[in-house]
Chains A and B, each alone.
Chain A
Amino acid sequence: MNLRDPLRDELAQHTIDDKPYWFRLDRRNFLKLFGGGLLVCLTDVPTWAQESGRTFGSHELPKDIAAWLSIAADGRVTVFTGKVEVGQNIRTSLAQQVAEELRVPFDSITMLMGDTDLTPWDMGTFGSRTTPTMGPQLRTMAAAARQMLVEMAARRWNADPATLTAADAKVTGSQTGQSLTYGELTRGEKLMKTVSTNVALTPATDWKIAGTAVPKVNGRDFVTGKHQFPSDIVRPDMMFGKVLRPEGFNATLISLDTTKAEKMPGVTVVHDGNFIAVAAANLSTAEHALSALHATWNVPTQPSNKDLFASFKQSSKTQPEDGGPEHVSGSVPQAMATAAIQLHRQYTVQYIAHAPLEPRAAVAEWANGKLTVWTGTQRPFGVRDELMAAFHIPVEQVRVIQPDMGSGYGGKHTGEAAIEAARLAKATGKPVKIVWTREEEFTWAYFRPAGLIEIGSGANRDGTLVAWEHHNYNSGPAAIATPYSVANQLSQFHPANSPLRQGSYRALAATANNFARESHMDEMAHAVEMDPLEFRMKNLIDPRLRAVFQAAADKFNWGQSKSTPQRGFGIAGGNDKGGYVATCVEIEINPADKKIGIRHVVQAWESGAIVNPDGLRNQVAGAIVQGIGGAMFESIQFANGRILNPHFAQYRVPRFSDAPQIEIVLIDRKDLPSAGAGESGIIGLAPAVGNAIFAATGIRLRNMPMASLDIAPKETASMFQSDHGTTQESLAYESA
């Protein structure tokens, strides 16, 4: 009785509904600005509704080749996609797949990405969807284009297409030996052909360019500083903007005095609706003008980390969207009642920040009524919609361009900086750049949801799991269903009221759900006195998950050494979004000060046919390192509508000295479709570390972050310890 649409559920996790700004743009001003007749009525349709039924609502993907790729007379191939490069290396991996199907050299391809005027509509770059959806889309178009080129040559030569071959960017007659390059065939003309979906694609076993370790396509531009990130964009006569932030969340403005700032030469002050900002010819002046604004605010009393988890449980009872139990089979209460061993445990995860090294940034420019914005976002078309709504302008008057950005990790789905820059650019009549400060990014972006997870399980003495119940409050439904075979099971996600703005994060709630589940599996393994790997395998049928567990265990020599009070070994695994992961971890505990260090991680990974093994290793290893932060020490601290640790000096992220020895084992399943690999590599580390800590110390840590935080500055450390929702014994952490 699964009444919920999993795609809808997942997309709901990516949607950040609240609109940051409303502008007091009256109709008369509009008509003056845009000449009238152009007002469009925007309906606020949630993203998931547009996606439901997989029809993309009004956004039907173009079926003609020309929308996706073009071949110039000189043979250069340009590929158009609304997906964006944020460090996950799809600029390279998608080009490899096109080169493969089109039969052209890799370096003849240029990827034109994330430009709303030039690329087909795209929902956004998230959910590990690029490889499983955009990959086949572009491969289909490239294969169809190759077929079309063969047919064009056949017509020129009056030959049977079956006697012609396409290779190395040309079509050759097998009998005649005559050949024409693709450029000679197209002469730069558009490839006008409607493509059906059933075009034969080259199987992975025959790949020559896809499947290989092609280096990052524009790597050189990153080591020379030539690459222009969104925050690097410069336009002629550009001004710099700063936004006045309220003193806290949900604050209301009591008074505003702009007199001093308005008297500063060259400064424009804008106060429109709930938007207060300044612009000036250079950043220093804009900063001075910002500090010259005098505002008083009323900040309401608001919750803090304290009692957060109890509040989730309480507020979940009144949520209209609670869809009821999912993944139900058998009867959990009956099975639990007769199980020899029963466990009931609570787990928690705190809010954490994405903290992309490049904060939100945008440059906006109005020319002849058309708005162009360069900005860092995972959803250029979503930002375009936000701009249309904010400024009440039709689609043809907005263009969003997303230069490859300083990453996002799920944290850049929204267009705040774009709207801010555009509003200032409208007021000044000049291009305006906005780059958020680190403190703004830590405060006014959104967070990975905190959550409370309760798991109940029952097992027979022989280690057979008979009952499993998993409840997630607030953090999300991703990977909530157990991959283990349990006859009687129930999972349920309970939406709750979040005191902080929350949204997507790499792997969504799969990290939290997997931490709880794999910690619990370890607890049950110890309860039934079985080796943790053996216990998992006993209850696991899924051959792909079994294979990564076995691969990681083999590489790690799992079971060869026994944990000691100074050295612990832990294992955990899981799957989500088509990626299968198993992680073995060795931790060390300093006997003198009891500090934990993560020394060695072996992670096995499988996500179907590998498109680029080098890029894949980079993603999987990076996910492990990033995962150390959330596992051990990252936690947003807040009270009364304010973030208490909005700086890198207070919010610790993984550093060089935190990176353990990492070994990645890749399983290449050329017989399976390629899945995305940017996210789920993060879900194995935290439970594996927790399980290793238990193996060494007998202390079970059920709250992320797991370390007691004497690594944080003293003033925040005390808050961390007192604000855990459930009690947790304290263990310090030290770098590798």
Chain B
Amino acid sequence: MSDFVLKVNGAHLHVSAPAEESLLSVLRDRLNLTGTKYGCGEGQCAACTVLLDGEPARSCLTPVSAAAKANITTVEGLEQDAKLSPVQQAFVDEGAFQCGYCTSGMVLCATALLRETPHPTQEQIVTYMDGNLCRCGTYPRIVAAVQRASQSPAKAGGQ
């Protein structure tokens, strides 16, 4: 077991875990931050996406030791002063979910995309997010939500 101080959503959180334990398991099972989802544990579905210094990462394949120095953003950290981020708001406005299990990963991935490319084309959205699975098949609405967020007057990025 090793001791870590993780910077999660701006807070410093102390946690003991084996260095090789996945960031996903540390967030969910040790810190009770269950907004980040387990979908496959193999980096194949992106439900577990978090942002490390603003870059999307599969937390299921990221050892906690590799995330110890990064600013970690999870879906719980996007809301500011009880106000949804533009991407979150756009997902609500477009109804871009059915069961909602992929939504955390989708929202974070879209947040990273808009930080990199503030006004992406549909093709850019599809290419960037093609690794994120939605088994309910709401992809067209998610694309529409990202486009809506890109037109939002508020700043789209997370951190």
Binary per-residue interface labels of chain A (611-637) against chain B in the complex, 1 for a CB within 8 Å, 0 otherwise:
000110011011111100000000000
B139 within 8 A of A: yes
Which residue from chain B places its CB closest to the CB of A85 in the assembled complex?
B99
> From B104, which residue of chain A is reached at the shortest CB distance?
A225
In the complex, the answer to whether B139 meets A656 with C-beta atoms within 8 Å is yes
Evaluate contact between A622 and B98: CB separation under 8 angstroms: yes
A349 part of interface (Cβ distance < 8 Å)? no
Q: Are A224 and B44 in contact (CB under 8 A)?
A: no
A2 within 8 A of B: no
Closest chain A residue to B102, Cβ basis: A357
Interface pair A659/B34, CB less than 8 Å apart: no
CB-based contact A656/B129 at 8 Å: yes
Please encode chain B, from 67 to 85, with 1 for each CB lying within 8 Å of some chain A CB and 0 for all others.
0000000111011000010
Q: Is the interface of B mostly helix, strand, loop or mixed?
A: loop
In whole angstroms, how far apart are the Cα atoms of A216 and B39 in the complex? 23
Q: Are B133 and A282 in contact (CB under 8 A)?
A: no
Interface residues of B, count at CB 8 A = 59
A225 and B75: CB pair below 8 A? Answer: yes
B55 at the binding interface (Cβ < 8 Å): no
A409 to B75, CA, bound (A): 26
The answer to the question of B41 belonging to the interface, with a C-beta cut-off of 8 Å to chain A, is: yes
* In the assembled complex, A227 has its CB within 8 A of some CB on chain B: yes
Cα separation A406 to B84 with both chains bound (whole Å): 22
- Report if A592 contacts B (CB, 8 A): no
Q: Which residues in chain B, 111-149, are within 8 Å of chain A measured between CB atoms?
A: 125-127, 129-143
Please determine whether B34 and A234 come into contact, CB atoms closer than 8 angstroms.
Answer: yes
A227, B102: Cα distance in complex, Å:
12
Task: Name which of A223, A224, A623 has the most chain B CB atoms within 10 A of its CB.
Answer: A223
The answer, among A216, A225, A624, for a CB contact under 8 Å with B35, is A225
The answer on a CB contact under 8 Å between B84 and A86 is no
Decide if A176 is an interface residue (CB 8 Å cutoff).
Answer: no
In the assembled complex, B37 has its CB within 8 A of some CB on chain A = yes
Among A46-89, those with CB < 8 Å from B are 86-89
Beta-carbon contact of A656 and B34 below 8 Å:
no
Q: Mark A224-246, 1 if CB is under 8 A from B, else 0.
A: 11111101101000001000000
Residue B17, interface by CB 8 Å: yes
Answer whether A224 and B78 are a contact pair too, CB < 8 Å, given A356-B135, A407-B99, A659-B140: yes
Interface string of A276-304 (1 = CB under 8 A from B): 00000011100000000000000000000
The reply to whether B138 and A223 contact each other, CB–CB distance below 8 Å, is no
The answer to whether A622 touches B138 (Cβ under 8 A) is yes
| A215 within 8 Å of B (CB atoms) | yes
Cβ–Cβ contact A357 & B92, under 8 A: no
Chain B hits for A282, CB < 8 A: 17, 25, 29-30
Q: What residues of chain B lie closer than 8 Å to A668, measured between beta carbons?
A: none
**A623 CA to B76 CA in the complex, in Å?**
30
| Residues of chain B lying within 8 A (CB to CB) of residue A623 | 137
**In the bound complex, do residue B29 and residue A407 qualify as a contact, i.e. CB atoms below 8 Å apart?**
no
Assess the A357–B35 pair: CB atoms within 8 A. Answer: no
**Contact (Cβ within 8 A) B136 A622:** yes
With A226-B35, A406-B99, A656-B126 already in contact, the answer to whether A625 and B137 are too (CB < 8 A) is yes
Are B40 and A89 within 8 A (Cβ)?
Answer: no
B107 part of interface (Cβ distance < 8 Å):
yes
When the two chains form their complex, are residues A220 and B92 in contact, meaning their CB atoms are under 8 A apart?
Answer: yes
Contact indicator A224/B135 (Cβ below 8 Å): no
A223-B84, A406-B99 given; A656·B29 CB < 8 A? no
Interface membership of A435, Cβ < 8 A: yes
Across the interface, which residues of B come within 8 angstroms of A409, CB to CB? 135
Question: Would you call B97 and A656 a contact (CB within 8 A)?
Answer: no
Min CB distance, A2 to chain B, in Å? 36
- Where the two chains meet, the residues of A that have a C-beta atom closer than 8 Å to any C-beta of B are 86-89, 215-216, 219-229, 231-232, 234, 240, 282-284, 354-359, 404-407, 409, 435, 437-438, 614-615, 618-619, 621-626, 647-649, 653-659, 662
Q: Can you sample 6 A-B contacts with CB below 8 Å?
A: A88-B98, A227-B100, A283-B25, A653-B133, A655-B131, A659-B143
Which B residues are within 8 Å of any A CB, using their own CB?
17-18, 21, 25, 28-30, 32-42, 44-45, 47, 74-76, 78-79, 84, 88-89, 91-92, 95, 97-104, 107, 125-127, 129-143
